[in-house]
Amino acid sequence: MGAGIAKLVAQRFALGVLLLLAVSVVIFVGTNILPGDVAQSILGQSATPQAVANLRESLGLNQPTYVRYFEWLGGILHGNLGTALSNGQPIGPELLSRLGNTLFLAFWAALVAVPLSIILGLIAVRHRNGFIDNLISASTLAAISLPEFFIGYLLIYFVAVRLGWFTSVATVYQNMPFLDRMNAIALPAATLTLVVLAQMMRMTRAAILNVMQSAYVETAELKGLSRFKIILRHAFPNAIAPIINVIMLSLAYMVVGVVVIEVIFVYPGMGQYMVDHVAKRDIPVVQDCGLIFAAVYITLNMLADIFSILSNPRLRHPK
């Protein structure tokens, strides 16, 4: 059965690669069929038709779409992300720096959100249908109902403006002292944590409650084990697969769905970088950002599938 698990993992990996390839086609075609002319946007409305034609020629925009797609994809596979149209600078160094900022923010948000969601889920199950369970469920339901930009603005108003504990503008830069960087990302990280915490907690609670109905849990109860020991030793390990799935999806959102939060707090991450260049109609930058976001999302979903396979007792312990 070890070979069977390896085959399933290989299938998930191959599916992820094919999906990413398909997404790259959609991103490239989608950005190229947008209305307007990139060369005209760069030169301005006062540019002569000849100047626009010359710039289109120099940028390779006159080539067929499929030719430009394969050139773009080939460059990415060789580590060349191209050149930004707005400033003529290589995209790679700036984009990697912005990606590092986004991953830094997502890492610290996940470091708080993941264990806290699991702990709250366990507590809710331990006090099922009691006051604590209802309080946690109501709080998380309220958090899910609020849009992320509203949570961000609430934190800015109360924590930054009224209390003055943290800055409302998350400015970070290279070689910034660690404590200063942590102070700068406090509010965006808190917003991101609140956005994903509720979903992970509710999924943890639902998964454990589903396992609690199993026969072996009833047997453990008949043996006189405490409810907390039953939850921690018997229910939680067998509910890990769906919990891993929702954690991975939440981690993907922390990286891919962070665009709004980065814009609110003016955080120099990849989401802010993409939004800035959308306004400039800098197509190569938008394409590269879109592909990296897609790669992160697909990779984390693929890892969720693989971890679910590896955590399946029926595959690890076949009869």
| pLDDT(266) > 70 | yes
| pLDDT(118) > 80 | yes
* The dihedral formed by the CA atoms of 60, 62, 65 and 71, expressed in degrees to the nearest 10: -20
The per-residue pLDDT for 172 is: 81
CB-based contact 204:121 (threshold 8 Å): yes
pLDDT tens readout for residues 173-187: 788 888 888 888 888
> Could you give the C-alpha distances from 267 to 28, 111, 165, 167, in angstroms and in order?
26, 19, 18, 12
| pLDDT(315) > 60 | no
Domains and CATH numbers, the chain: 2-77 (no CATH), 91-316 (1.10.3720.10)
Residue 92's Cβ-count burial label (10 Å; 0-12, 13-18, 19+) is middle
159 — pLDDT class (breaks 50, 70, 90): confident
d(CA 67, CA 250): 36
pLDDT tens readout for residues 220-264: 666 766 777 777 776 777 777 777 878 888 888 888 778 888 888
The per-residue pLDDT for 203 is: 81
- Residue bearing the bigger pLDDT, 4 or 192: 192
Which of the 8 DSSP states describes residue 234? I
Residue 145's Cβ-count burial label (10 Å; 0-12, 13-18, 19+) is exposed
pLDDT tens readout for residues 50-92: 776 776 676 666 677 778 888 888 888 888 888 887 777 888 8
Q: Phi-psi region for residue 19, left (φ > 0), alpha (ψ -120 to 50) or beta?
A: alpha
- Residue bearing the bigger pLDDT, 305 or 297: 297
Structure tokens at 121: 């889920």
The dihedral built from the CA positions of residue 219, 222, 227 and 232, taken in this order, carries a sign that is: negative
24: nearest Cα among 305, 289, 314? 289
The length of the chain is 319
Structure tokens at 174: 């290279």
| pLDDT(308) > 80 | no
- Residue bearing the bigger pLDDT, 26 or 314: 26
d(CA 120, CA 139): 11
312 — pLDDT class (breaks 50, 70, 90): low
| pLDDT(117) > 80 | yes
- Could you tell me what percent of the chain has a pLDDT over 90? 1
The per-residue pLDDT for 35 is: 63
126: nearest Cα among 211, 224, 230, 198? 230
| Report for 111-115, 147-151, 161-165, 307-311: range of highest mean pLDDT | 111-115
CB-based contact 167:228 (threshold 8 Å): no
Rounded mean pLDDT, 5-11: 77
The per-residue pLDDT for 220 is: 66
92: nearest Cα among 313, 289, 300? 289
d(CA 8, CA 294): 22
Q: Phi-psi region for residue 157, left (φ > 0), alpha (ψ -120 to 50) or beta?
A: alpha
The per-residue pLDDT for 41 is: 64
Which of the 8 DSSP states describes residue 109? H
